[in-house]
Amino acid sequence: MTIKQSITLADVATKAGVSKMTASRALRGTGDVSKANVELVRRAARDLGYVGNHLATSLSSQRSVLVGVVVPSLTNIVFAEVLSGIANALEGSGKQAVFGVSDYDPDTEYDVIRNMLSWRPAGLIVTGLEQSADTLKLLRNAEVPVVQIMDLDGDAVDACVGISHAEAGHTMASALLAEGRKRIAYIGCGLERDTRAAKRFRGFKNALIDEGIGLAGERIETGPSTIAVGRALTAQLLADQPDLDCIYYSNDDLAAGGLFHCLSANIDVPGTLRLAGFNGLDLVDSLPKGVATTRTPRREIGIAAARIILDVENGANPPRRVAYTPEIHMP
Amino acid sequence: MTIKQSITLADVATKAGVSKMTASRALRGTGDVSKANVELVRRAARDLGYVGNHLATSLSSQRSVLVGVVVPSLTNIVFAEVLSGIANALEGSGKQAVFGVSDYDPDTEYDVIRNMLSWRPAGLIVTGLEQSADTLKLLRNAEVPVVQIMDLDGDAVDACVGISHAEAGHTMASALLAEGRKRIAYIGCGLERDTRAAKRFRGFKNALIDEGIGLAGERIETGPSTIAVGRALTAQLLADQPDLDCIYYSNDDLAAGGLFHCLSANIDVPGTLRLAGFNGLDLVDSLPKGVATTRTPRREIGIAAARIILDVENGANPPRRVAYTPEIHMP
DNA sequence: ATGAAAGCGCTAACAC
DNA sequence: GTGTTAGCGCTTTCAT
């Protein structure tokens, strides 16, 4: 598409009767420009409907106003909240977030990150610590700060902000054991691509094994985690093993589905059967019967990540690792 | 890791022993370049870890690869799904979506749109037909195609894709009346900023009035629509008017909250009390008892909007109005 | 098939 | 205070 660059800074300058530089300075409020000229330029810009060209500005000034953000999914409320936190933290800084979605696919992730880099962003925020070798090389060679979010279990390219999922799984196992649960099963989806969910599962399982109890059963599927899937898998699992007293799910959506099954099947939750999810979604707080969960500080993670980028920009020396300790909620 | 100097096309060309132009052509696959040189340039680019500069490319070629998208909220799954549709439709076209969030605030919306325009996008997709006068002026003066999504009830700047919310409200009213409901109330949140929800409410109310029944009660609050709020408002409304046989909500989240209240309060749904929401979220399909809803084609709207931008780009003559008819789901 | 020159719109770095 | 000059990295255009 050809851009009809109708009005440029030169047009504004001409109309105001000054040079391009004076117009530029007046519009940006930098340097010394006489009040009279500032007024003239502003009026000319407004009258002409002038909209600056960020492409030219960025190229010329060699400084970027973009912060690239790569998340695996947009239709997962968790990432939407992270983005929201990032957008908020960036507000007023003059920086703007650009989002890319990897669809949990390493090749797509590589393409998306490469594409972001070609916009010469001031920084990059990417989800997780597991990237392909090619992607890692790209990130290491990029001369921009890279913040990896959501996870702490592994090595960061530059900096990371998040929680330990292995620990989260372990902590939930302890809490369930402390509640007296003995026959504990696991239901998870998409572990092959959601490495953080897989880490939670491992931490959870190991904690049980350490206590000499072990996992009483499991149902692991590929594909997305939805309420409907959680409901179906719970029904299946309980058909096989009706004597379970606890199910840990890879996330809250599955757990909510599990609860809906129990409501229909008249199973007492949490009395007979304790359900536990992960994320601490609003949904869980409103469910008619308590489902345990681990609350994760999504907005805070987004904000902290954005701050790191801004700090680097300002020459500050931000932390290379920001660890949050998620809180267990067990109603 | 050594911090590398930014590698430009000139570096690649030098390393490959050709001119910048040959390198440029080889990398883009345009014009005639000898096989040998293509290979040399590709190898040089890969060895150097060259990442092109979109800022320079766009500025120089006067063509944009960006499509600006403005939504009121990111933490609302509905808009996340629209974005997802847009991103999908743009895949393989060489275009990339850039998102902006208005937070339902007209001034923020103006700023966001202005900011998007300064990136010289190939097109703009904005939510809704109601913008401030300043914003409309900006959109009309912008020489890019503008697609307004989600709503059809009003005048579009260029083109619009969505559903009629007035009609959706009307249709739901008819369906509830057809089911034999007589004492029908309404619960809504954030109507002051969500003009589409307000249009549904008006359509709904008018339909009831036309039938000589009228609204038996209403509870309208400012602020966000959450499951928790829906639960609380339903409890309040039913405390005042226990004889209602139907509640229409401004959306599914509120309706789900209403159902959770009813489950706790042992109210038979949908027998004694029919609940109805709007959007057709996955949540509703999985709820233990049926909640009526209007399914909206979010992804389709996103896809259609993106297609319009692409069509304009290709010189085609896309429709100026794409209307979807939402389907009522009444379990 | 390849290259040199001329910008795209803007701003940093100097003049004056 | 204001203007001039010289790019930013790339692609267009027009040579060869």
- Strand A327-329 relative to strand A293-295, pairing: antiparallel
Tokens of B88: 């999908």
**Is residue A69 very low, low, confident or very high in pLDDT (cuts 50, 70, 90)?**
very high
**Is residue B290 very low, low, confident or very high in pLDDT (cuts 50, 70, 90)?**
confident
- Between A243 and B315, whose confidence is greater? A243
The model carries a pTM of: 0.94
**Is residue A289 very low, low, confident or very high in pLDDT (cuts 50, 70, 90)?**
confident
pLDDT digits (tens, 9 = 90+) for A137-166: 999 999 899 999 999 999 999 999 999 999
pLDDT digits (tens, 9 = 90+) for A85-103: 999 999 889 899 999 999 9
Nucleotide nearest residue A120, measured CA to C1': D9
Say what the pLDDT of residue B299 is.
Answer: 96
| pLDDT higher than threshold 50 for residue A3 | no
Q: How far is the CA of B36 from the C1' of C1 (A)?
A: 11
Q: What mean pLDDT, rounded, does chain A reach?
A: 95
Quick one: which of B10, B47, B45, B49 has its CA closest to B29? B45
pLDDT digits (tens, 9 = 90+) for B17-53: 999 999 999 999 998 999 999 999 999 999 999 999 9
Tokens of A33: 């420009």
* A residues 14..33 contacting B (CB < 8 A): none
Q: How far is the CA of A3 from the C1' of C6 (A)?
A: 19
- Any chain B CB within 8 A of the CB of A6? yes
In this complex, the answer to whether residue B24 has its CB under 7 A from any atom of chain D, a nucleic strand, is yes
Answer yes or no: are the C-beta atoms of A108 and A134 closer than 8 Å.
no
Burial class (CB in 10 A: 0-12, 13-18, 19+), A88: middle
Residue carrying the six token digits 């009121």: B72
Cβ separation A77–B80 shorter than 8 A: yes
Q: How far is the CA of A317 from the C1' of D16 (A)?
A: 54
Sign of CA dihedral B202, B208, B209, B211: positive
Which residues on A lie below 8 Å from B115 (Cβ)? 54, 96
Domains, in order of start, for chain A = 9-52 (no CATH), 66-164+298-325 (3.40.50.2300), 165-295 (3.40.50.2300)
| pLDDT higher than threshold 80 for residue B4 | no
| Length of chain A as a residue count | 331
Contacts of B39 (CB under 8 A, 6+ apart): none
DSSP-derived 3-state class of residue A122? coil
Residue carrying the six token digits 């992804």: B299
Say what the pLDDT of residue B1 is.
Answer: 27
Of A51, A98, A231, the CB nearest to B114: A51
Say what the pLDDT of residue A5 is.
Answer: 55
Q: How far is the CA of A60 from the C1' of C15 (A)?
A: 20
Cβ separation B59–A52 shorter than 8 A: no
pLDDT digits (tens, 9 = 90+) for B294-316: 999 999 999 999 999 999 998 89
Say what the pLDDT of residue A285 is.
Answer: 86
Which residues on A lie below 8 Å from B84 (Cβ)? 74-75, 101
Q: How far is CA A177 from CA A3, A170, A213, A245, in A?
A: 64, 11, 9, 11
- Any chain B CB within 8 A of the CB of A227? yes
| pLDDT higher than threshold 50 for residue B188 | yes
Residue nearest to nucleotide C7 (CA to C1'): B60
Say what the pLDDT of residue B2 is.
Answer: 29
Cβ separation B228–A143 shorter than 8 A: no
Say what the pLDDT of residue B293 is.
Answer: 98
DSSP state of B220: E
Which pairs count as long-range contacts for A56-62, CB under 8 Å and 24+ apart, including other chains?
A: A56/B59, A58/A120, A58/B55, A59/B53, A59/B55, A59/B56, A59/B59
| pLDDT higher than threshold 60 for residue B211 | yes
